[in-house]
């Protein structure tokens, strides 16, 4: 069982990394349009989330995916910034970044990884809203494959938590992220894109 759990953790981390590679390729060729309101926050919180989740869960194996994601998320952020896909930060982004500083201070002063992780989770949820709304209105701005892979990787990590008898609070982050990533995959699915194309044709080709 221990070997299976370690293997599952490594596979989840690898799948997570592959999803980022695919996403970067899609961003390069315009098949995904990263939302700055979301990605700027995710890049900032990725490392805090990985370390706080590690301290909260007390398990390195189930945290492999989050450490992989922290590096990949930061790389993706700077890569997409380099190719000119991001705009300036608005009030929401600055507020969420400030929340990240608060989470860091909470962790440093109170030595509470759980509270730091909960603050990070709240920021992640709020930061998903701009991407969710953008894809809900226009499914062409994202492609489902990387979001499906992230969802699967997070599901594997959640299953691994059960295998390793992790604390109940450790489930909150991956389960919430499963729902968030799955929602983007669902909203950007191909048949929804086809419906959007037909609506554009009926409206004279004017895109939102």
pLDDT digits (tens, 9 = 90+) for 19-41: 999 999 999 888 888 877 778 77
At 38 the pLDDT is 78
Range with the poorest average pLDDT among 169-178, 185-194, 199-208: 199-208
What is the domain range of residue 52? Answer: 2-202
In a domain, 207, yes or no: no
In a domain, 142, yes or no: yes
Query: How many structural domains does the chain have?
Result: 1
In a domain, 111, yes or no: yes
Q: Which residues contact 39 (CB under 8 A, 6 or more apart)?
A: 73, 76, 77, 80, 86
87: pLDDT strictly greater than 60: no
Nearest to 53 by CA among 142, 95, 108, 116: 116
Segment 199-208, tens digit of pLDDT: 888 876 555 5
pTM for the whole structure: 0.84
181, 42 Cβ separation under 8 angstroms: no
Give the pLDDT band (50/70/90) at residue 153: very high
In a domain, 129, yes or no: yes
In a domain, 77, yes or no: yes
Q: Which residues contact 76 (CB under 8 A, 6 or more apart)?
A: 20, 23, 24, 27, 34, 39, 43
Q: Specify the 3-state DSSP secondary structure of 204.
A: coil
């Amino acid at each position: 069982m221990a070997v299976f759990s370690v293997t599952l953790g490594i596979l989840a981390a690898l799948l997570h990394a592959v999803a980022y590679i695919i996403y970067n390729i899609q961003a390069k060729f315009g098949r995904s349009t990263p939302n700055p309101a979301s990605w700027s926050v995710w890049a900032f919180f990725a490392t805090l989330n990985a370390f706080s989740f590690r301290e909260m869960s007390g398990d390195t194996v189930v945290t492999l995916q989050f450490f992989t994601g922290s590096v990949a998320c930061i790389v993706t952020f700077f890569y997409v910034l380099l190719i000119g896909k991001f705009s300036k930060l608005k009030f929401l982004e600055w507020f969420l970044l400030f929340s990240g500083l608060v989470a860091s201070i909470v962790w440093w002063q109170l030595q509470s990884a759980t509270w730091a992780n909960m603050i990070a989770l709240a920021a992640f949820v709020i930061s998903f809203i701009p991407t969710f709304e953008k894809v809900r209105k226009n499914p062409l701005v994202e492609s489902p494959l990387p979001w499906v892979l992230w969802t699967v990787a997070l599901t594997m990590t959640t299953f691994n938590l059960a295998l390793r008898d992790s604390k109940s609070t450790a489930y909150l982050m991956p389960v919430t992220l499963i729902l968030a990533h799955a929602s983007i995959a669902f909203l950007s699915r191909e048949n929804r894109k086809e419906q959007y194309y037909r609506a554009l044709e009926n409206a004279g080709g004017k895109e939102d």
